Amino acid sequence: MSKEKLNILFAAAEVVPFAKTGGLADVAGALPKALKKLGHNIIVVMPRYYSIDTTKLEKLPAPLGVPMGVMGEFWAAVYMSKLPGSDVKIYFIDYEHYFGRRGLYEHEEGSYEDNDNRFVFFSKATLQLCNMLHFTPDIIHANDWHTATIPLLSKTRFVHDFAHAASVLTIHNLQHQGVFYKGVMDVLEVGWEHFNPYELESMDSVNFLKGGIAYADAVTTVSKKYAQEIQTPQFGFGLDHHIRAHSSKLFGILNGVDYTEWNPATDSFIAKDYTFNNISGKLTCKQDLQKQFHLPQREDVALIGFVGRFVEQKGIGLIAGVIHKLLDQDIQIVMLGTGEKWAERFFGEVAYHRENFALHIGYSNALAHKIEAGCDMFLMPSLFEPCGLNQIYSLAYATLPIVRATGGLDDTIVNFDKYHHKGNGFKFYDATQKALYHTVLWAVDIYYNDKKSFRKMQKVAMKAHFSWEDSAKAYIDVYKFALSKKQG
């Protein structure tokens, strides 16, 4: 019964190139294009944040009414554009009071206090927009806690308009679940009967992600390994039991890479392009990176990079614990990131005292590209990692990843094995400083003393291809599963 050409509604809180705090935006900017290329009809919806310039967007003539329960009806403006390089339409929900702020989810002191209402509003607006556009989705694809109430809303409050739609929820990061004071039930308007431990309730609060997992016809995560991990207490963030109860509709699909952006042969941010057959430009990139970061200009030294949010998830605590010992070796380390204040201060101090360490606190896409290209190795010692994108970008740039074997890092990185001639990087298993320290030393030793193996691994790394087309095909299979489940 399944249609060949699906109508897909894709909702996300951030989408490249319009707004980004992490990998969710990369996925939301790329997957819809790949789905469209497979012949499906897809629209994307996101909030219009303060930073998004409306003069470059087209404004829809009519405002959008959004019912907010006890708070009454709010009216939003809607803007439209297209995902760059494609025909995929993206709609922006514009409501100054909620989204006209500098941060996407938080200010200096922490999360915005009204994130519950902001994202219930956005989720409802997304569904209302379909009605306004006369767009009848077969599939409603929600992402993370921000839009996790959509599967529930589409089957309750909005069921008349979406009776035939199946819903899919992708969990990009289980740590963030959208847990709020239960009063938001009166804004959600789905009926208090859904405030129970099998649906929305978690310890007397509302848990958006939990409700989404209960109501979506299919749930996905961004790697197969992470799909297994989140069913265990160690990685379940309190929801492992709930996820196990829904495991028959849980799938792991690895993210792809947008190789039009992450490709050393065409990258406009890097000092010199290089290719699989001729990697010599990478040395120029290394020199450029050292210059940019005021590191001693040495082409022979092992240079290791880190790009990412400075949060516990990324293993910055582990790095902090061994950084001085590592810097006592003949290596250079460069870090780019922003996040927890203690980490920014701590690494700032390290940069002040050590000449073979450099740091840029902040967000810079250009520097992220330069680090990928200029380093010999890339460090990603995450405590957990649903997919991880930087290690995959690193492979494309022949920058060998040193990772902890978790989630997508474990699925994408094959450990160096000299005796069986295998590997595209270096992996350790225990989340300990000791394991991290030894693995970095091991990688550095191979870099200095086994150049042949190192070079071979670089070739294997550059050959790997993580295409969005393959991922999109896997999503289509999940969409069909969701539709059959709904009809069955």
Least CB distance from residue 257 to ligand GLC, whole Å? 11
**Torsion angle defined by CA atoms of residues 170, 171, 172 and 174, in that order, rounded to the nearest 10 degrees:** 170
138 lines the binding site for ligand ADP (CB under 6 A): no
263 lines the binding site for ligand ADP (CB under 6 A): no
Residue with tokens 């990009």: 172
* Candidate residues 29, 305, 337, 401; the one interacting with ligand ADP per rule CB under 6 A: 337
292 lines the binding site for ligand ADP (CB under 6 A): no
Query: What are the residues binding ligand GLC (CB under 6 A)?
Result: 22-24, 27, 172-173, 222, 255, 385-389, 408
388 lines the binding site for ligand ADP (CB under 6 A): yes
Nearer to ligand GLC, 125 or 337 (CB): 337
Least CB distance from residue 170 to ligand GLC, whole Å? 8
Q: How far apart are CA 122 and CA 134, in angstroms?
A: 18
Least CB distance from residue 230 to ligand GLC, whole Å? 12
351 binds, among ligand ADP, ligand GLC, none (CB under 5 to 8 A by kind): none
Nearer to ligand ADP, 161 or 470 (CB): 470
- Among the listed ranges 139-147, 304-312, 322-330, 419-427, the one in contact with ligand ADP (CB under 6 A) is 304-312
Question: What is the spatial order of strands in the sheet that 205-207 belongs to?
Answer: 179-180, 205-207, 201-202
Q: How far apart are CA 246 and CA 244, in angstroms?
A: 5
Interface mask (CB under 6 A) for ligand ADP, residues 52-71, using x and -?
A: --------------------
- Among the listed ranges 157-165, 323-331, 345-353, 360-368, the one in contact with ligand ADP (CB under 6 A) is 360-368
Nearer to ligand GLC, 27 or 271 (CB): 27
Residue, CB closest to ligand GLC: 23
Number of residues binding to ligand ADP, judged by CB under 6 A:
17
478 binds, among ligand GLC, ligand ADP, none (CB under 5 to 8 A by kind): none
Least CB distance from residue 374 to ligand ADP, whole Å? 14
* Candidate residues 13, 23, 88, 396; the one interacting with ligand ADP per rule CB under 6 A: 23
Least CB distance from residue 22 to ligand ADP, whole Å? 3
Structure tokens at 32: 């819809």
Sign of CA dihedral 384, 293, 343, 368: negative
Task: Please give, one letter per residue, the 3-state secondary structure of the chain.
Answer: CCCCCCEEEEECCCCCCCCCCCHHHHHHHHHHHHHHHCCCEEEEEEECCCCCCHHHCEECCCCEEEECHHHCEEEEEEEEEECCCCCCEEEEEECHHHHCCCCCCEECCEECCCHHHHHHHHHHHHHHHHHHHCCCCCEEEEECHHHCCHHHHHHCCCHHHHCCCEEEEEECCCCCCCEECHHHHHHHCCCHHHCCCCCCEECCEEEHHHHHHHHCCEEEECCHHHHHHCCCCCCCCCCHHHHHHCHHHEEECCCCCCCCCCCCCCCCCCCCCCCCCCCCHHHHHHHHHHHHCCCCCCCCCEEEEEECCECHHHCHHHHHHHHHHHHCCCEEEEEEECECHHHHHHHHHHHHHCCCEEEEECCCHHHHHHHHHHCCEEEECCCCCCCCCHHHHHHHCCCEEEEECCHHHHHHCCECECCCCECCEEEECCCCHHHHHHHHHHHHHHHHHCHHHHHHHHHHHHHCCCCHHHHHHHHHHHHHHHHHHHHC
Least CB distance from residue 299 to ligand ADP, whole Å? 25
338 lines the binding site for ligand ADP (CB under 6 A): yes
Nearer to ligand GLC, 24 or 482 (CB): 24
365 lines the binding site for ligand ADP (CB under 6 A): yes
Amino acid at 401: P
Nearer to ligand ADP, 374 or 388 (CB): 388
Amino acid at 406: T
* Candidate residues 42, 169, 185, 336; the one interacting with ligand ADP per rule CB under 6 A: 336
Closest CA to 387 of 413, 416, 415, 425: 413
363 binds, among ligand GLC, ligand ADP, none (CB under 5 to 8 A by kind): ligand ADP
Structure tokens at 473: 């095909």
Nearer to ligand ADP, 211 or 408 (CB): 408
Least CB distance from residue 380 to ligand GLC, whole Å? 10
Least CB distance from residue 190 to ligand ADP, whole Å? 29
365 binds, among ligand GLC, ligand ADP, none (CB under 5 to 8 A by kind): ligand ADP
Nearer to ligand ADP, 157 or 314 (CB): 314
Residue, CB closest to ligand ADP: 23
* Candidate residues 76, 218, 368, 482; the one interacting with ligand ADP per rule CB under 6 A: 368
Nearer to ligand ADP, 338 or 453 (CB): 338
Q: Give the interface with ligand ADP as residue ranges (CB under 6 A).
A: 22-23, 26, 307-309, 336-338, 363-365, 368, 387-390
